[in-house]
Amino acid sequence: MIVFLLLLLQVPRSQHGSVTQRVSHTDIVISYNRPVARGRELFGSLVHYGRIWHPGADSVSTISFNNDVMIDGHRLAAGRYSLWTIPEEPPKPWTVIFNRGVGGWHTNYPGESQDALRLSVTTETGPHMETLTYYFPVVDADSAVLRLQWGTVVVPMKVKATQ
């Protein structure tokens, strides 16, 4: 019983993070747990190529928009979505999935029937990022670039406000 209580009191290794960005009149909120590389080989090893992967740790990562948006030129309705990817070995593009199933654990993909949008995204290479991160390096009056980065892999997406 004491061991169980000690486990409950341990601080998780993948800390919770969030990022919020306003673009025009649209608020974008991302909530996720942040795995750390800790010297591990990430893509092609820890994260398998060609398989659905939840970019985060523990509970599912979510993204929400209070207004409709365009993601890389594709319309996505206002709402809250879980984020999923299908990583591919370079130079193949990754698939990024916005799914309506938002509750649950990071390994339980709700299924294609719940997909609101699937995108093909060409990855980039950047400096090593030890902890998985979502960030907005470019923000204009009506658009922003959202990047998912872990290790040296960067997954960029352009978000455009429609209001």
Query: Tokens in use for 114?
Result: 């719940």
pLDDT tens for 11-21 read 777 789 999 99
Query: Tokens in use for 64?
Result: 């929400």
Of 54-58, 136-140, 154-158, the poorest mean pLDDT is in 54-58
pLDDT at 3 over 80: no
pLDDT, position 71: 98
Rounded CA-CA distance 54/103 in Å is 13
pLDDT, position 163: 79
Q: What's the whole-number average pLDDT of the chain? A: 93
Q: Residue-wise over 35-56: b if at least 16 C-beta within 10 A, else e?
A: beeeeeeebeeebeeeebbbbb
Rounded CA-CA distance 116/136 in Å is 22
With 0-12 CB in 10 A as exposed, 13-18 as middle and 19+ as buried, what is 9? Answer: exposed
Query: For residue 79, which of 94, 67, 97 has the smallest C-alpha distance?
Result: 67
Residue 1 banded pLDDT, cuts 50, 70, 90? low
Rounded CA-CA distance 72/144 in Å is 11
Domain locations along the chain: 22-161
pLDDT, position 4: 55
Q: What is the residue-wise DSSP string for 97-130? A: EEES--SSBTT----GGGEEEEEEE--EEEEEEE
pLDDT at 140 over 90: yes
pLDDT tens for 65-109 read 999 999 999 999 999 999 999 999 999 999 999 999 987 776 789
